[in-house]
Amino acid sequence: MDTEYDAIVIGGGSAGLSFARHAAGLGRKIALIERAELGGTCVNRGCVPKKMLWTVADALHRGSGLTRAGLLGATPPVDMERLCARRGDKLAAIRQSYRDKLGEAGVTLIEDVAELTAPGEVTISGRRLRAPRVVLATGGRPVKPDMEGAHLACDSDAVLNWTALPRSMAIIGGGYIGCEMAAIHAALGVRVTLVTDTDRVLTEFSEAAAKVGQANMAAQGIRIVTGCTPEAVRETDDGLELVLDADTSLAVEKVVAATGRAPNLEALGGLAERVAATDKGVLKIDERFETSLPGLHAVGDCADRLPLTPVASGDGETLARQLFGTHRPPVDLRHVATTAFVLPPVAEVGQPSEAAIFEQKTLSPLSAALRADASQDYYGLGGSESAVTSVSLVAEGAHEAIAWAAQMLLHRPDRDTMRRALGVHPSTSEEVMG
Which tens digits make up the pLDDT trace of 216-226? 999 999 999 99
Q: Is the pLDDT of residue 1 over 80?
A: no
Residue type at 181 in one-letter notation: M
Looking at residue 331, the DSSP 8-state letter turns out to be: P
CATH homologous superfamily of 344-433? FAD/NAD-linked reductase, C-terminal dimerisation domain (3.30.390.30)
What pLDDT does 52 receive? 96
Rounded to whole angstroms, the Cα distance separating 111 from 102 reads: 13
Dihedrals phi, psi of 161, to nearest 5 degrees: -110, 5
What pLDDT does 49 receive? 96
Model-level pTM? 0.94
What pLDDT does 423 receive? 86
44-72 residue pLDDT tens = 999 999 999 999 999 999 998 899 889 99
Looking at residue 301, the DSSP 8-state letter turns out to be: G
pLDDT band for 413, please (50, 70, 90 cuts): very high
Q: Is 51 annotated as a binding residue?
A: yes
Q: Is 175 annotated as a binding residue?
A: yes
288-332 residue pLDDT tens = 999 999 999 999 999 999 999 999 999 999 999 999 999 889 999
pLDDT band for 431, please (50, 70, 90 cuts): confident
Whether omega for the bond prior to residue 119 falls within 30 degrees of 0, making it cis, is: no
Q: Is 73 annotated as a binding residue?
A: no
Q: Is 179 annotated as a binding residue?
A: yes
pLDDT band for 90, please (50, 70, 90 cuts): very high
Distance (Å) of CA 425 to CA 124, 362, 375, 422 = 59, 17, 19, 9
Q: Is 88 annotated as a binding residue?
A: no
Q: Is 302 annotated as a binding residue?
A: no
Q: Is the pLDDT of residue 278 over 80?
A: yes
pLDDT band for 107, please (50, 70, 90 cuts): very high
Q: Is 178 annotated as a binding residue?
A: yes
CATH fold match for the domains 150-259 and 344-433: no
Rounded to whole angstroms, the Cα distance separating 210 from 425 reads: 26
Instruction: Measure the CA angle with vertex 199, ends 197 and 204; round to 5°.
Output: 85
Instruction: Pick the range with the lowest mean pLDDT from 76-90, 115-129, 352-366, 383-397.
Output: 352-366
> Which CATH architecture describes the domain 150-259?
3-Layer(bba) Sandwich (3.50)
Of 335, 318, 330, 316, the residue nearest 287 (C-alpha): 330
Q: Is 148 annotated as a binding residue?
A: no
Domain spans of the chain, in order of start: 7-46+81-142+262-333, 150-259, 344-433
185 is catalytic: no
Percent of residues, the chain, with pLDDT higher than 70: 100
- CATH number assigned to the domain covering 7-46+81-142+262-333: 3.50.50.60
Choice among 297, 327, 411, 425 that is catalytic: 425
pLDDT band for 426, please (50, 70, 90 cuts): confident
- Whether 63 and 35 have beta carbons less than 8 Å apart is answered as no
